Amino acid sequence: MSSGRSSRIEGFYKLPYEERVRIVKEWAGLTSEEVNALANFGNLPRDIGERMIENVIGAMSYPFAVAVNFLINGRDYLVPMVIEEASVVAAASNAARMLRHGKGIVAEAGAQEMIGQIHIVNTTAPHAKAARIIEHKQELLDYAAQQDPILVKSGGGPRDIEVRVVDTRKGPIIVVHLIVDVRDAMGANAVNTMVEAIAPLLEKITGGQARLRVISNYATRRVVKAWARTPVENVGGLEVAKRIEEASIIAEADPYRAVTHNKGIMNGIIAVALATAQDHRAIEAGAHAYAARSGVYKPLSTWEVDEDGYLNGYLELPLQVGVIGGATKVHPIARIALKILGVSSAKELSEVMAAVGLAQNLAAIRALVTEGIQKGHMRLHARNLAVMAGATGDLIDKVAERMVKDGRIRFDYAKELVERALRGEQI
């Protein structure tokens, strides 16, 4: 049934901020308190927020934490993490401590190359045209390079052109890949500008139409590897280490488990991505595609126990991140996050993120194969319920402990306990 209201609001984005807020307030029946809460931009100045995205009516804060204990490539890091899920930061810190053996977690990223795609349709003799594109390779690379002299000056820029003829249900198309070394940027802007610029040249060469001209988030030329080797004692002994290996084997055999296994890895990676204002959707999309590169969805990491009594973890995934440009430099908190992290390049940031993913994964599967993940979660959940039920100060832990002890972690019980405590009863 129609409510009689229309969400068709012409020029909403052009309205002054106050007017946008007024419209939404009226639409949703927001109270003044709710509007004030929404309008609290916290540590994101409103003018910056309004420049970042459109139709802004407020801001939303997430907790910003640091994971401790990380030793990566022989260097210590405090890792900023932004996430709404309890236990993730504690788990990362805990696993990082277990992996402080030797140089700690080793991580290695290569050249920071992104792929820009141009899909050419409506062309005849596609293979001959593909060859013609290769003949014009240098001219295309030169023209692409002209679009971003600053990138070229910093040592980056277009590196190569690859061409494929791909069959579709409407006949063959030509897919052109422009390979660009994007250095310390995530690269979407630079690459998108370049592919849009060379598209008309490709149309001239092929006689076809350059339909899609955009970066591929399947960043297979930006793969990062992270590995770690730690004595089994550091993870709770041989039996626990063997079960961690078993969990890894199970994930390799069962895609339903592999997705959750990888979700645990992404818990850590995306939390760092959020803290440093990365395009986390790109990272997720690329990572999951990589997990399915064999045609079957697989875990991004593996765990093995070796004959010398060490647990070995290995993780490999593409990471498209930047430390210049985009929101990283615009959001004041992202800048602070990068300062805390102390990374000097996109390559280093991606290495840290992969290391965090590996530690996060270890923490998750170690918990799963020992006490399970609910125990820790429920303790935190109980505290949240206690707060929601009105507990403050010491009462929060008292109510939470009682709920855990009684095995009744529910809001109604939290409320009952708070009321009893406030009446002066012993709980």
Could you please report the per-residue DSSP string of 339-373?
HHHT--SHHHHHHHHHHHHHHHHHHHHHHHHTT-S
The single residue among 263, 288, 329, 415 that binds ligand MEV, judged by CB under 6 A, is 263
The single residue among 69, 94, 267, 278 that binds ligand MEV, judged by CB under 6 A, is 267
Which entry of 85, 371, 406, 412 is annotated as an active-site residue? 85
Angstrom distance (rounded) from CA 357 to CA 267: 7
Which entry of 137, 263, 288, 329 is annotated as an active-site residue? 263
* Contact status: 194 vs ligand MEV (CB under 6 A): no
Q: Active site includes 148?
A: no
Q: Dihedral, CA atoms, 253, 311, 351, 248, nearest 10 degrees?
A: 10
Name the token pair of 365: 């599967």
Q: Active site includes 406?
A: no
Q: Active site includes 101?
A: no
Scanning residues 30 to 89, which ones bind ligand MEV (CB under 6 A)? 85
- The candidate with the shortest Cα–Cα distance to 321, out of 224, 212, 226, is 224
Q: Dihedral, CA atoms, 389, 391, 396, 400, nearest 10 degrees?
A: -30
The single residue among 178, 365, 389, 391 that binds ligand MEV, judged by CB under 6 A, is 365
* Contact status: 244 vs ligand MEV (CB under 6 A): no
* Distance in Å, CB of 261 to ligand MEV, minimum: 5
* Distance in Å, CB of 367 to ligand MEV, minimum: 7
* Contact status: 418 vs ligand MEV (CB under 6 A): no
The single residue among 158, 264, 313, 326 that binds ligand MEV, judged by CB under 6 A, is 264
Q: Is 217:280 a contact under the CB 8 Å cutoff?
A: no
Angstrom distance (rounded) from CA 269 to CA 350: 9
> What burial letters (b/e) apply to 126-146, b meaning 16+ CB within 10 Å?
beebbebbeebeeebbebbbe
* Distance in Å, CB of 86 to ligand MEV, minimum: 10
The single residue among 368, 378, 380, 427 that binds ligand MEV, judged by CB under 6 A, is 368
Indicate the residue type of 222: R
- The candidate with the shortest Cα–Cα distance to 322, out of 273, 270, 388, is 273
Q: Is 70:355 a contact under the CB 8 Å cutoff?
A: yes
* Distance in Å, CB of 353 to ligand MEV, minimum: 17
Q: How many residues bind ligand MEV (CB under 6 A)?
A: 10
Q: Active site includes 85?
A: yes
Segment contacting ligand MEV by CB under 6 A, of 100-108, 161-169, 259-267, 329-337: 259-267
Which entry of 137, 177, 377, 398 is annotated as an active-site residue? 377
User: What's the start-to-end Cα distance of the chain, in Å?
Assistant: 49
* Contact status: 377 vs ligand MEV (CB under 6 A): no
- Using left for φ > 0, alpha for ψ between -120 and 50, and beta otherwise, residue 146 falls in alpha
* Distance in Å, CB of 235 to ligand MEV, minimum: 15
* Contact status: 261 vs ligand MEV (CB under 6 A): yes
Which entry of 113, 181, 245, 279 is annotated as an active-site residue? 279
* Distance in Å, CB of 366 to ligand MEV, minimum: 10
Name the token pair of 222: 């930006």
Hunting for tokens 């592919």 — which residue is that? 195
* Contact status: 364 vs ligand MEV (CB under 6 A): yes
* Distance in Å, CB of 368 to ligand MEV, minimum: 6
Supply the residues annotated as catalytic.
Answer: 85, 263, 279, 377
Binding site for ligand MEV (CB under 6 A): 85, 260-261, 263-264, 267, 364-365, 368, 373
